[in-house]
Amino acid sequence: MNLAIRIGLLAAIVVTVQVPLGWQRLPRELRELDERIERGLDVVQFADSVNASYAPSDTDTRSVAQMLDAVLEDRHVDAIHHAAYQPAVYLAYLENLRARGVTPKTVVVPINPHIFSPNWTMRPDWQFERERFALGHPRLASFVDPLMIFRAVSATEASMAEYVDAPVYEGRQVVGRLTSMAGPRSGDREGDQTARIFTCHYMAQVHRWMPRVSDLEAILACVESMGCELVVYITPIDVEEGERLLPGRFRNQVRANAEFLVRHFAGLGVTVHDFSAHCEHARFYWPVAPDEHLDEQGRAALAGWIADAIRTAEPVGAAGE
């Protein structure tokens, strides 16, 4: 048997084994996408961990999407969500749907203020390279793991060394480095570390050149080309707690960032619904993070606000006409 035949047989064996194994190793969210498309997509709600996290004391543990589905009795909501999902991932899903010719009626996109922090933007394991590659290259999806081993797939914003040394901003001023500002939580709500975490997560001034703003702009363009209605909202965060820890500073920066996002995307024909300060402190819970995760009353309220926005949703560009 000559070398060419041997190589051909080896390649056939690798493909035969890798295709089913590679597909099973893909995240559940990707493997379920085909089933969702076959059922038909009405409302597609993208989300991060805010969607499904619940407080230990909750008796109603439904996600925001499940509550939204119940409120919108005449609509069906499909949630595409995972902890730490962010606009670059939402964009990859939308581009995949567009390439297939699939058009949901309404697309719901959250803007979690935390996504503008280096803690989220630059964290290597929150870039979802596997998912983004598989969505962008469906025929190669089963081979994403070996391709990553050979570094043929990479979508990271920074190396781990760059990530831990990333600057943390309050407004436009550097106030520390990520390695010290977002360290382990002590569980002490009164401690300086909690104030540093709030600073790291939310206090940078948001501007149009940030990668996540660019991703959001690309989402708008993609949804416009698909002809979908679009709902964009800013996720509630614990503004009361942040202001208590950073008095005279926190609320003002959160408001300024929200006003920028509303103004910037209004100029692109999209209404951004600002829910950032809509929930009181009691609606947030501590164990996961001191910032954006909601109890059952908070999730129900958020579902109601999203439902109201969906009822008046317009295609991209209509808000600016």
20 has a pLDDT exceeding 50: no
Buried b (16+ CB within 10 A) or exposed e, 94-105: bbbbeeeebebb
d(CA 69, CA 66): 5
d(CA 241, CA 12): 59
In a domain? residue 128 = no
22 has a pLDDT exceeding 60: no
Fill in the DSSP letter of residue 284: B
Provide the 3-class DSSP secondary structure of residue 314. strand
Rg value, the chain, Cα = 21
187 has a pLDDT exceeding 60: no
Percent of residues, the chain, with pLDDT higher than 70: 79
Q: Where are the beta strands (DSSP E) in the chain?
A: 43-47, 77-81, 106-111, 167-170, 173-177, 229-234, 272-274, 314-315
* CATH at 239: 3.40.50.1110
In a domain? residue 127 = no
Per residue in 50-63, pLDDT tens? Answer: 999 999 999 999 99
Q: Which region among 14-28, 88-102, 236-250 has the lowest average model confidence (pLDDT)?
A: 14-28
> Which amino acid appears at position 15 of this protein?
V
How far lies 157's CA from each of 118, 206, 287, 310, in Å?
Answer: 10, 17, 28, 33
120 has a pLDDT exceeding 70: yes
Per residue in 280-301, pLDDT tens? Answer: 999 998 765 558 999 999 999 9
In a domain? residue 265 = yes
Closest-CA residue to 315 (of 100, 37, 104, 95):
104
22-36: average pLDDT: 71
Q: Is the dihedral of CA 153, 154, 159, 164 positive or negative?
A: negative
Could you tell me the pLDDT band of residue 25, with boundaries at 50, 70 and 90?
Answer: low
Report pLDDT for 15: 43
pTM: 0.87
Report pLDDT for 143: 54
In a domain? residue 151 = no
In a domain? residue 8 = no
In a domain? residue 243 = yes
Phi, psi values for residue 272, rounded to 5°: -105, 120
In a domain? residue 251 = yes
Report pLDDT for 146: 53
Strands 167-170 and 272-274: unpaired
More confident residue, 44 or 179: 44
Report pLDDT for 314: 81
127-133: average pLDDT: 85
184 has a pLDDT exceeding 60: no
142 has a pLDDT exceeding 60: no
Domain containing residue 84: 32-122+157-320
Report pLDDT for 79: 97
The chain-wide mean pLDDT, for the chain, equals: 85
d(CA 285, CA 53): 10
Number of structural domains found in the chain: 1
Could you tell me the pLDDT band of residue 141, with boundaries at 50, 70 and 90?
Answer: low
| 8 Å CB contact between 292 and 235 | yes
For the chain, report the end-to-end CA distance as a whole number of angstroms. 70
Tokens of 24: 């099973």
In a domain? residue 316 = yes
